[in-house]
Structure 1
Amino acid sequence: MSDAKPWRVLAINPGSTSTKVGLFEGEGCVFSENVAHAADRLAAFPTISDQLPYRRDAILAMLSNHGVELSSIDAFVGRGGGLMSLPGGTYAVCGTMLGHARAGANGVQHPAQLGPQLAHEFAEAAGGRPAFVVNPPDTDELCDAARMTGVRGVYRNVHLHALNLKETAIRHAASLGRAYEDCDFVVCHLGGGVSISAHRHGRMIDGNDIVGGDGPMAPTRCGGMPVAGILDWLDAGHTVAEARALCMKTGGFVDLVGTSDAREVIALAEGGSAAAARAWDAMIYQVCKEIGAMAAVLGGRVDGILLGGGMAFDQGLVNAISTRCGWIAPVAAYPGEFELEAMAAGARRVLSGVEEARTYTGVPVFRGFAED
């Protein structure tokens, strides 16, 4: 296909209480909107996938208000979720992917599971248009050394903000007049979860598992913990379910300060709260330490340290990271996220023939080493 056509792409990113939707024409955004969902309605559904008709109808109503017909859209792209590990890229939605998304085949229940399902529903309603996912959270391009632990049969997994991490890297490479595949970056997403990743020539070869208690602490996540300390914590009467919750919902700022809002933590610290100041400074310390580790993975050859996510709006945080890590490579901030834009860009690359859509097989990227 020619890349001259200004393809119209609808990007869909389901979140916990809303679904972000953006309509793109060419590289321009026609509009984007956060479609809110009533918490009591969502709570009434037994599973995340059961929310599909409710969210679908809410999005259709929003599109109708904008005067948008599904038939006017060339492709639909949803945030991926619930999938088995896979290399990065743009994937055509298929039956295997839909089955895995509905069930949450990877064991992680997250609203992103609805992304492939919604994209498929709209694509079918539009007359069989293409439906895609782009760099889902289960993107796994780890090198073998990054997978190893000191326990036989226990390996490091990776769950990262792959979509935003890769888009940030692509944009920064372009700003340097270079291709992402020709650069080496340390890329960070600093939001409700914190992802720190090493990108070598277009592949994300190392990074932390944001759902597995790995890497720096985050607003709702405990980050890496000493194993013996967790065992003592469990022996003191806590449950395994509580320990798992620390990894995604109740750890980090929530446990240490009582809020998941980084802005509140900063305000409390500035107001004299020693606990808030310690938590904020410790998170930045841990982020910087992980950046240093990723720079070592890249052999010290780093073209840039890139900071994205909502916390990158805080200039104090950016300055603190620049002070500690600027000797490694220039630090550049890309506050917020480019997830809708990244999804639309991935679909355009396939529609234009620049990139070939990948096929989702459902077979994990890594299933152990031959000697296991």
Structure 2
Amino acid sequence: KLIVAHLGGGSSVSAHLNGKMVDLYNSDKEGPFSVERAGALPTHELAEFARSRDDYLEYLAHRGGLFSHFGMRDVERIAEGVKNGEIDFTPLEAYIYNIAKYSYSLLAVFDGFPDALAITGGVVKCDYVRERLLEKLRGIRVLLFPGEFEMESLADGAHRVIRGIEDALEY
């Protein structure tokens, strides 16, 4: 029983039971916003914002999230600005809150607590975000995996498919 939160340019929070993902929030379409992606948004307000479909999708996928508030994607710089009082802390705290909220929402999958919550991705390298998340996630065993291991994971997965250990799945 595991919850996995990946915090990169995009974010996802997923529940894993007996080695299989059984529920997922992905910032491309729902769930917490991320560094670049808008996540779940109120639909009526979105209808007022929409210009063209392409503009809309570009905004949601690459100019939403923290970037829409700070005009940058460097979470370390954002956190430094927050610590120095140069930048409003509210959007960064909302980001942290949303990761914790969506992580806790998956407890229902397990009818209680998972064995652990694994947090991965480049954003985990940021001390401020990591420490604030740990404060919010008290009560759950948290495993931290700072950095990006996406290419290694993709290569390992392809290798397992080639060797016939796993079937290729479409995501």
Deviation at 1:348, TM superposition (A): 5.0
Equivalent of residue 273 in structure 1, options 83, 86, 90: 86
Task: Look up the match of 2:141.
Answer: 330
2:45 maps to 1:229: yes
Query: 1:287 & 1:325 partners in 2: Cα distance?
Result: 10
Shift of 1:191: 0.7
Question: What amino acid is aligned across from residue 197 of structure 1 in structure 2?
Answer: S
Alpha-carbon distance change, 274 to 268 in structure 1, aligned in 2, over 3 angstroms: closer
Q: Which runs of 5+ in 2 are unaligned?
A: none
Aligned counterpart in structure 1 of residue 119 of structure 2, from 292, 307, 311: 307
1:187 aligns to 2:19 (yes or no) = no
1:245 matched residue in structure 2: 58
Distance 1:331 1:232, change over 3 A: same
Deviation at 1:350, TM superposition (A): 5.6
1:348–1:359 distance in 2 versus 1, CA, 3 Å? closer
Of the three residues 55, 59, 72, the one matched with 1:259 is 72
Structure 1 residue 211 corresponds to structure 2 residue 23: no
Cα distance in 1 for partners of 2:95, 2:168 equals: 38
Change (3 A) 1:229 1:343: closer
Moved runs in structure 1, 4+ residues, more than 6 A? none
Deviation (angstroms), 1:241: 2.8
Give RMSD over aligned pairs.
2.3
| Alignment TM-score, normalising by the size of structure 1 | 0.42
- Superposed counterparts of 1:1-372, under 5 Å: 184-212=1-29, 214-234=30-50, 238-275=51-88, 277-327=89-139, 329-347=140-158, 349=160, 356-358=165-167
Identity of aligned residues (%): 26
CA spacing shift, 1:356–1:239, aligned 2, 3 Å: same
Q: In 2, distance between residues paired with 1:349 and 1:242?
A: 38
Q: Measure how far apart 1:260 and its partner are.
A: 1.6
1:313 CA drift (Å): 0.9
Cα gap change, 1:240/1:340 in structure 2, threshold over 3 Å: closer, same or farther? Answer: closer
3-state SS of 2:39 partner: coil
Deviation at 1:189, TM superposition (A): 0.7
Instruction: Output one character per residue of 1:214-272: Cα deviation in whole Å (capped at 9) or x when no partner.
Output: 111111111111111212334xxx44333212221111122111112212211221232
Distance, in Å, in 1 between the alignment partners of 2:33 and 2:161 is 37
Give 3-state SS (helix, strand or coil) of 2:92's partner: helix
Q: Normalising to structure 2: TM-score of the pair?
A: 0.87
Letter in 2 for 1:199: H
CA distance in 2, matches of 1:302, 1:359: 27
Q: 1:285 to 1:359 in 2, by over 3 A?
A: closer
State how many pairs are aligned: 171
User: 1:258 and 1:332 mapped to 2: Cα distance?
Assistant: 30
**Greater helix percent: which structure?**
2
